Amino acid sequence: MRQLILGTAGHIDHGKTALVRALTGVDTDRLPEEKRRGITIDLGFADLTIADDIHVGIVDVPGHENFIRNMLAGATGIDLGLLVVAADEGVMPQTREHLAILELLGVRDVVIAMTKADLAQPEWRDLVADDIAGLLAGGPFAGTTAIAVSATTGEGLDLLRDHLVEHARLIRSRPADDLMRLPIDRVFSIRGTGTVVTGTLWSGTVARDHKVRLMPADRRIRVRAVQTHGRERDAATAGERTALALVGVDRLDLRRGDVLVDAPGWQSTRIITARLRVLESAPSIRHGQRVRFHLATAEVAARIVPAAGPALEPGSVDIAQLRLEKPIIARAGDRFVVRSWSPVTTIAGGLILEPAARRRKRVGRATAQRLNAILDDDPAASVEAAVALAGWTGLHLQQLPVATPLPPAIAESVLRQRHAPVARVDGRLFHDELVSIAGQKIIGCLRDFHRASPLAPGLALQQARQILPAAGTARIARTSGNAGGSSSSGASGASGASGTSGSSGAGGTAGSALADHVIARLGQDHVIRVDAGLIRLADHQPRLTRAQQTACNAILATLDAAGVAATAATELPPDLAARTDLEDLLHHLTRTGDLVPLTPDRYVTAAHAAAAATRVRSDLGGRSDLGPGDFRDIFGISRKYLLPLLAWLDRTGITVRTGELRSVPRVETPPQAGPA
């Protein structure tokens, strides 16, 4: 059976509650104050089977202007509107405001009931019908016929039911295979049951023992029991009025405006980007103007920031941001209503484009096109736009069905079949165009690095992973030959992108993952090479200029003359010690195997190092309890030069140090083969 939500709308005392009672037998005025004052103050609920295959949950809303906020809490879940106009009064102020709200919320169809028909003469009824037709003219419900009814005499009720069935059959059911979301409109306790919430299940399915999240508090709770229209159920589906008994939360921790969800991609937000429509009857909306923002059952104070220009004019439709004073839960495609702060009246409404947006001062044409494309009928276009707008931060895969209006299965199908130019990287989504730009950034940075440090074999991989903007300002140090070494500044990456609300800390992780992905692709394409923790362009080889080669020869000659007396850079001849590239030259000679660093700043030639090792083994092999003097006797050098040599002998395993003494393991010489 199809499940729909029917919501009343109309001016106070035009007979909405009486009409619902006549149709269903249920008095939706449940509060003592409502009984005493004879007016509807808060939402009331009933249900009605209007055909063998159509069941409607009815939300009866208050008509008084002071309770529009309550009306909005119920109107946001409506599939079909029942606009009520009293035949003895005609169109009144709240008739107009309620109709505007239904239009702003995208209610797909309305049925018009001209109530209290028994109190008006036929001629007067005709005038009121013309008045209603004029009200609807030019809008989405133009041409809808008003049905004269009387809750007192029963006149027109059967015809009204027929019209409800006719209109209900044209309305598409809400998706049951979508994300589960239930905005809460009532909270109470029942003895023996505990905390109970009610609301219209906007989408998805909720079942007994289902684990759900209370947002924006982000608390995990369990559903103990499910009811729809007072009947126990194993599960409720989209489009049903639903009551849930909850475990793990107190009644005082819940309020109207909270939302129950079950998917991990939801996040609270204080900034949304939206397509805003200003009513023609409203005044201009100024930049930064404080307003009342209504989404689902929530009402939050907000300030409006137009994307272009200082104000939004009456009748205009434009992109704007709403900066909220409290967090809400939103999804792309959600409809909302904006009311002025004072005096309180409905002035605008719209569609959410970015539910968790970063601050935007201005929106250019290209960005505006992508924002609007999020709501495109083509799922691939919607996915591409949402991912492109996420920029360097990327969009987590779990957030895609929230950042778009697409059910998870459709969003996943777009990605699986590669209908959108999107790359999946470590659970996040990046636009292919951005991946290409990332590759160009890495290549450009390596090119700059090689130009600044031509003798370096490559950039430290960890530094390369910090090039992309999502990781923050990536300043690439000019390194010497050692991986990760640092010197003066070289090439710089771009500054980090602005963070997305709710995604704190994701930038660096996303940037590193994207960098790894791009580096791997560039490696597969033989554009770069990664070796021993260093990354370089595939065609890069450390090259010495003629002057540098001359300097290297001089360094080798000087150290060769010094023997095993390890020489520091500062001890080289003045013309060599003064070179700005001396450190690079020393590391180059170390990489080529010409020099051996006994300590980080003292070097000997490889030939002298090998000779020292051979002599220690030949003269002291197999001996232990050796002191520094035993080694000084062999090499004839002072303590200043002996200690670096001993440290290197220990490090290479030629000697084994125990306390202050050393031993020299004997190296067995393999037997020589005799003559055949």
Look up tokens 């559903």; give the residue: 223
- Average pLDDT in the chain: 88
pLDDT of 36 over the 60 cut: yes
**Do 407 and 532 have their domain in common?**
yes
Task: For residue range 454-484, list pLDDT tens digits in order.
Answer: 888 889 888 888 888 854 333 333 333 333 3
255 located within any domain: yes
Burial class for 531, CB neighbours closer than 10 Å (0-12, 13-18, 19+)? exposed
- Let me know: does 431 contact 421? Beta carbons within 8 Å: yes
Do 578 and 430 have their domain in common? no
The tens digit of pLDDT for each residue in 263-312 reads 899 999 999 999 999 999 999 999 999 999 999 999 999 999 999 889 99
CA dist list (Å): 241 to 55, 202, 433: 11, 9, 44
pLDDT digits (tens, 9 = 90+) for 571-617: 999 999 999 889 889 988 998 899 999 999 899 999 999 999 999 99
pLDDT score at 507: 44
Same-domain check for residues 495 and 404: yes
CATH of the domain at 79: 3.40.50.300
- 202 and 129 in one domain? no
Exposure of 465 in the CB half-sphere (CA atoms within 13 A): 16
> Which CATH number belongs to the domain containing residue 245 in this structure?
2.40.30.10
Residue at a domain's end among 228, 261, 294? 261
Same domain? For 384 and 468 the reply is yes
Sort strands 335-340 and 298-306 into parallel, antiparallel or unpaired.
unpaired
Neighbours of 222 (CB within 10 A): 15
Residue at token pair 């190296």 = 667
Range of the domain at 80: 2-168
Looking at 238, 261, 284, the residue that finishes a domain is 261
111: β partners: 82
Distance CA 30, CA 64 (A): 17
Q: And the tokens for 616?
A: 């220690």
Q: Give the number of other CB atoms < 10 A from CB of residue 570.
A: 8
Q: State yes or no: pLDDT of 404 exceeds 90.
A: yes
Percent of the chain exceeding pLDDT 70 equals 92
- Same domain (yes/no): 211, 123: no
List the CATH number of the domain containing 613.
Answer: 1.10.10.10
Residues 16 and 134 in one domain: yes
Predicted confidence band at 509 (pLDDT cuts at 50, 70, 90)? low
Q: Into how many domains does the chain fold?
A: 4
The reply to whether 452 falls in a domain is yes
- 204 & 151 share domain: no
Query: pLDDT of 333-344, one tens digit each?
Result: 999 999 999 999
Lowest mean pLDDT among 45-59, 155-169, 229-243, 472-486: 472-486
Task: Give the C-alpha separation, 274 to 282, whole Å.
Answer: 18
Looking at residues 341-354, what average pLDDT do you find? 95
pLDDT band at 669 (very low <50, low <70, confident <90, very high): low
Distance, CA of 72 to chain centre: 28
Q: Is 462 helix (H, G, I), strand (E, B) or coil?
A: helix
Does residue 330 lie in a domain region? no
56 and 194 share one domain = no
